[in-house]
Chain A
Amino acid sequence: MTETLGLIVGAVLTLMVFSYLLGDNVLYRWALALLVGAAAGYAVGVAARYVLNDWIVGALAAQGAPDSLAYAVPLVLGALLLLKGFPPTRFLGRIAVIGNSSLGYLVGVGAAVAVSGALVGTLIPQVTVTGEALRIDEGGLAIAQGAVVLLGTVLGLYYFHTRPHTHRDAPPSKTPVQQKTERLGMAFIAIALGTAFSGALTSALTALVLRLWQLVELAERLISLVAG
């Protein structure tokens, strides 16, 4: 019964969202508000439980200065970070500038992790693989595929390097070879984005089909319930 009730709630919510096909309306907005609120509350709840269970309890149970310090420092930094949420007219808001230190710490560590990962995890392996694209020992199709992959990688990277970044930049004069190379790179990028578009469309259609499948199953269940 509860499962059926849950399905009914889901179905109602699905129909409220599908009402957007008729245009922007109140039902759609209410459904979105419900989804956003629930997702925000869920995320914060899980994060708060993690901090509470793993760190505050751990800090309280810590023995020794180093452990205590290891638990206390992030909690203090986190508390300073929370000061940023207060309005500037309040007293706590006036000292909210102290929270910039916590932000700086978070940004600095995150940047270092990202740089390391991108360097070691993506750049070096991908460049290595690009050089190994031509697998000659695997036959003609593999060679062709490898050549296409190699060409696409090089030309795609060339296109991102040469295209102007702002509309005000005066495009420098390019030779015909440069222009043709740039257009080839643009073609590879267009093909890549075309596959990405089809993939997104596939996911959306899958969600649509599965949602409809749920609706059909609910309808069948309700019919069976009504029919007895």
Chain B
Amino acid sequence: MNGDSAMIRCPSCGSLNKESRRKCDNCGAILPQTEIRCPKCGTVNPVGNLFCDHCNARLMQQEDLNSLASRSSTEEPNSSSLKGISLPTRSPTTEDDDQEREDLPAWLRGLPDEEQRAEETGVSEQEVLENAGGYPDWLADLIDEDAEFGDVDVPVEVEVDNDRAASLFEGETMPEWLRAEVPSVEPLATEPSTEETEPASDQSLASKALPDWLSSLTDEAAGDEFDERELPIPDWLSEQELDHPEAAQSSSTPSERLVDTARPEEQDPALTAERDEMEEHDALTEEIEERTKNGATASSATRETAFSIFSETDLPEWLSDARALDLEDAGASVGEASGPEPHGAAEPIPQAQEFQEPPSEGEADETADAAEEEAVTEEAAATAEVADSEVTNEAVQGPSPSPSATTAQTPPWEGERDDTEEAELPDWLAGLEPAPPGETVSAVFTKETVSEVSVPDWLRDVSPIVEEASDLTPTAPVFVEDADDERSSSDTPPSLDEPAQEPDWLKDLDLLADEAVPTRPETVDDEAPVKADLPPWLQALAPSGQALSTGPEDAAGELVPADIPDWVRDLRADPNEPDKASLTRERIATPAEPEGPLEGLPGVLPSLSVVDVPSEARLSADSELPESVIAQAQLWQQLLEQPRSVERPVLQERVRSEGSWGIIRLLAGVILIAVLLAAFWMIPSGTRLSQVPPVQTAVGVPALAAGLDQLTPGERVLVALEINPAYAEEMAQIAIPLLRHIQAQEVETLIVSTLPESAGLGAMLVDQAGYSVTVSGRYLPGNANGIAEFLQGPEAQTAARLIVLASQPERMRWWIEQNLLLRSHNGNGPLPVSVGLSATAGPFIRPYLEARRVDGWVIGFADAVAYRDLRGDIGVHGRVLDILMLAHWLVASFLVIGVLYGLALQRKGSR
């Protein structure tokens, strides 16, 4: 098996081909070359070399270079230029990015770039994420990966033990982020910057659902008292103390330290703006309360307050509809707007505070900023900027717990309001009835539950309006699903079905109650979501006499799809294009990278098609591969899979056979030589065993003799001596009697030859023939050209005969051809030709002999002996002829033995 012949796979049909092939044997596609052989010296050079490494010859012609250059200009400009490496590379160019973008699903492709988003919003994504605080790990853990895009999460019922939360920070400053979640906690007076906002914050926070960890915190803390000072300080906190020693010194408790470290010295402008919004929100709430006290209904008070905020033209849609209804009902004019404000900018939407895990080592520096960052809820997504970031966050991290559900759900602490200090809840919140325990609540807007005019767009966007709650079908983004399938179990964040994992720092505090953490109801996916109870304020906005509907309906009475922005709509997978979705799924559903920096990520790098075989590649029956190709490929596969230690019997057998035939060669040679030598001594000189068949000499030898006998003295005879030194001894047995015969005729002899050696050989033969006159000789260079040039000269024109003594058939042919060609043009006719040939050339010249273009011939030693015999000059040559005959018989015997050996092998193989 030829060890130096590697195999490469055709990129077109996948069949195996030898490395040296340029085209595929199966489909004819051009195979990638891995080496270039120099046309001059044969040295193998790596691909990419323009000149040979050995002889500096050009390997690639200019036109090849030009075509390569033109081809490369249309291809990746940054392809690998390494010599000898023919692997495809990825070019970090925009073209790759575009290609990557094209590989993405449609709904993800429409996601605007950072630059585009920054241009549109004026805020970079980094800033947005920073402002929004991103999603901390614990929140990401809480995110339900099984939830689908657009679906509405059912919030987890949590119970907040406000007393316990308040006791934790009794006499201390509760951090703002915690205060937002615990409405009963009074802000500390020591923090003037946040005191004013805290009461309002407390009230607004009452509408929030606490995360599990906090609920568990409150539950556990309800029964136990502990000294916070005895708790171990988390590392991140201790590091913060190092960074803020003054804060640490001023604080005596970890929570205080937490508070201090959570409050950076420098205020972020964005956070300041949000704090201002909070203050406005509080102010508005107070205004609504005042109006209510003054006798207005809650809804009217709310509306009027809203009208005072927005200008005529800046009213949000949902509020404008309400206003229109008010105008119809009350006929009262809308209050003066306090001033135009950006839509949504003063939206007093209570914002869920973002709870962050205690920063680990290395993140202490970011703790201050992280603590100040507040998550943007879907209610705050009414603003354009927030809506973008929210969708981004949702798209990347999954849907967050829907605040709409949160708003729809009765805060769990409602049931415990009796036990806690009476908190002033807004009317819209006061009107909410607590949800039955254990019953899932989902903010699903159906036609029956939502007013046709009162559902704002932003809310409608979050919760699509369906016919019935049961029609809500999950449509999670593809990548979420696939990410679930391929993410390892260790990396899978816990879903809402599992108990929420509390941060480590909280674990250390050992505040968990023994009560089981409420889990998500299991009936989310199977049963239809429960219709949400609209808050009173929402209900109040509905025009009187009209039932709430899910939203505006078209003329046909069917639901109108939510007014989702186009760019959001593009992000979704189109269910009407199953092929595309399936292709997308198939594309993305590639095996994750097993190792490296891309570990766990699927479909990042395309599979190499030139060298590697795709894992899905299979030879099917429809591939139309010939069986020989398949068999060859299988054989190569078997041979390549064999370990090196496996012996190769084929090669060994071949070596063994070569050795045996070498022995046979030696034996045959020795036997032949020995027998012949013995024959020289054993056969007496006078004995004649052999005979020359008369059929061999009946025509040729006598005709030659007769032709020479016709020569008259003075004529010129041309003797073409085309004898190779190897045949000199054999041809000498023919040439010497011929020369003697010519000499006997007393003719002028001109010896010519196209072989350089024959010039000297002619002199030797003439000397051995016993010529008494000088014989001239000429060398004719150029083979047939020389013959043609000589025969057209004057010396050949006057010659009487041409005698050709040739050891090789082609030289004999040249003489005969040129003789026929030239002499016919001269009008004299061709020269009569007599030939003397070696036994090798005889069979090849027989057609000319049969054509009677030659009168008289002597072929081989046997005819030479016959000619000698005819001339009466046999001498010792009869004995030599006998020995030659013996040699013939011996060789024939060996050939027969070889045939019998072959037959024996065949019979042995068949057995």
Interface residues of A (CB under 8 A from B): 18, 21-23, 39, 42-47, 49-50, 88-89, 109-110, 113-114, 116-118, 120-122, 125-126, 128-129, 149, 168, 192, 195-196, 199-203, 205-216
16 contacts between A and B (CB under 8 A): A18-B673, A21-B669, A43-B757, A47-B779, A88-B57, A109-B785, A113-B784, A121-B813, A121-B821, A192-B843, A199-B839, A206-B839, A207-B730, A208-B672, A208-B676, A213-B880
Q: Considering the complex of A and B, which 6 residue pairs feature the smallest CB-CB distances, nearest first? A: A121-B817, A117-B817, A46-B756, A202-B839, A129-B851, A43-B756
Q: How far is the CA of A21 from the CA of B662 in the complex (A)?
A: 8
Interface residues of B (CB under 8 A from A): 25, 56-57, 662, 665-666, 669-670, 672-673, 676-677, 680-681, 725-727, 729-730, 733, 756-757, 759-760, 779, 781-785, 788, 813-814, 816-821, 824, 838-844, 847, 850-853, 860-861, 880, 883-884, 887-888, 891
Do residues A203 and B680 form an inter-chain contact, with CB atoms below 8 A?
A: no
Q: How far is the CA of A209 from the CA of B878 in the complex (A)?
A: 13
Q: How far is the CA of A114 from the CA of B727 in the complex (A)?
A: 26
Q: Report A14 CB to chain B, min CB distance, Å.
A: 11
Q: Report A215 CB to chain B, min CB distance, Å.
A: 8
Do residues B729 and A210 form an inter-chain contact, with CB atoms below 8 A?
A: yes
Interface centre among A109, A149, A196, by most B CB within 10 Å? A196
Q: How far is the CA of A213 from the CA of B817 in the complex (A)?
A: 37
Given A210-B729, A211-B729, 5 more A-B residue pairs with CB atoms under 8 Å apart are: A88-B56, A117-B814, A120-B824, A202-B888, A209-B884
Do residues A203 and B840 form an inter-chain contact, with CB atoms below 8 A?
A: yes
Do residues B677 and A120 form an inter-chain contact, with CB atoms below 8 A?
A: no
Interface of B is mostly: helix
Interface of A is mostly: helix
Given contacts A125-B851, A208-B887, contact A113 B820 (CB under 8 A): no
Q: How far is the CA of A47 from the CA of B665 in the complex (A)?
A: 39
Q: How far is the CA of A125 from the CA of B842 in the complex (A)?
A: 19
Given the complex, which residues of B lie within 8 Å of A22, measured CB to CB? 666
Given the complex, which residues of A lie within 8 Å of B666, measured CB to CB? 21-22
Do residues B729 and A120 form an inter-chain contact, with CB atoms below 8 A?
A: no
Do residues B662 and A23 form an inter-chain contact, with CB atoms below 8 A?
A: yes
Do residues B860 and A199 form an inter-chain contact, with CB atoms below 8 A?
A: yes
Q: How far is the CA of A121 from the CA of B813 in the complex (A)?
A: 8
Interface centre among A21, A203, A207, by most B CB within 10 Å? A203
The residue in chain B whose Cβ has the minimal distance to the Cβ of A128 is: B851
Do residues B821 and A116 form an inter-chain contact, with CB atoms below 8 A?
A: yes
Given the complex, which residues of B lie within 8 Å of A196, measured CB to CB? 840, 843-844
Do residues A50 and B781 form an inter-chain contact, with CB atoms below 8 A?
A: yes
Given the complex, which residues of B lie within 8 Å of A200, measured CB to CB? 839-840
Given contacts A199-B860, A203-B840, A205-B888, contact A212 B785 (CB under 8 A): no
The residue in chain A whose Cβ has the minimal distance to the Cβ of B681 is: A216
Given the complex, which residues of A lie within 8 Å of B25, measured CB to CB? 168
Do residues B670 and A21 form an inter-chain contact, with CB atoms below 8 A?
A: yes
Do residues A47 and B756 form an inter-chain contact, with CB atoms below 8 A?
A: yes
Do residues A120 and B817 form an inter-chain contact, with CB atoms below 8 A?
A: yes
Given the complex, which residues of A lie within 8 Å of B730, measured CB to CB? 203, 206-207, 210
Do residues A199 and B843 form an inter-chain contact, with CB atoms below 8 A?
A: yes
Do residues B757 and A39 form an inter-chain contact, with CB atoms below 8 A?
A: yes
The residue in chain B whose Cβ has the minimal distance to the Cβ of A118 is: B817
Do residues A114 and B784 form an inter-chain contact, with CB atoms below 8 A?
A: yes
Given contacts A199-B840, A203-B838, contact A209 B785 (CB under 8 A): no
Given the complex, which residues of B lie within 8 Å of A109, measured CB to CB? 785
Q: How far is the CA of A44 from the CA of B757 in the complex (A)?
A: 10
Given the complex, which residues of B lie within 8 Å of A126, measured CB to CB? 847, 851
Do residues A129 and B888 form an inter-chain contact, with CB atoms below 8 A?
A: no
CB-contact partner of B759 in A21, A46, A203, under 8 A: A46
Do residues B816 and A121 form an inter-chain contact, with CB atoms below 8 A?
A: yes
Given the complex, which residues of B lie within 8 Å of A113, measured CB to CB? 784-785, 788, 818
CB-contact partner of A209 in B681, B726, B883, under 8 A: B883
Do residues A216 and B861 form an inter-chain contact, with CB atoms below 8 A?
A: no
Do residues A207 and B853 form an inter-chain contact, with CB atoms below 8 A?
A: no
Given the complex, which residues of A lie within 8 Å of B785, measured CB to CB? 109-110, 113
Given the complex, which residues of B lie within 8 Å of A207, measured CB to CB? 726-727, 729-730
Given the complex, which residues of A lie within 8 Å of B662, measured CB to CB? 23
Q: How far is the CA of A26 from the CA of B64 in the complex (A)?
A: 47
Given the complex, which residues of A lie within 8 Å of B673, measured CB to CB? 18, 208, 212
Interface centre among B783, B841, B847, B888, by most A CB within 10 Å? B847
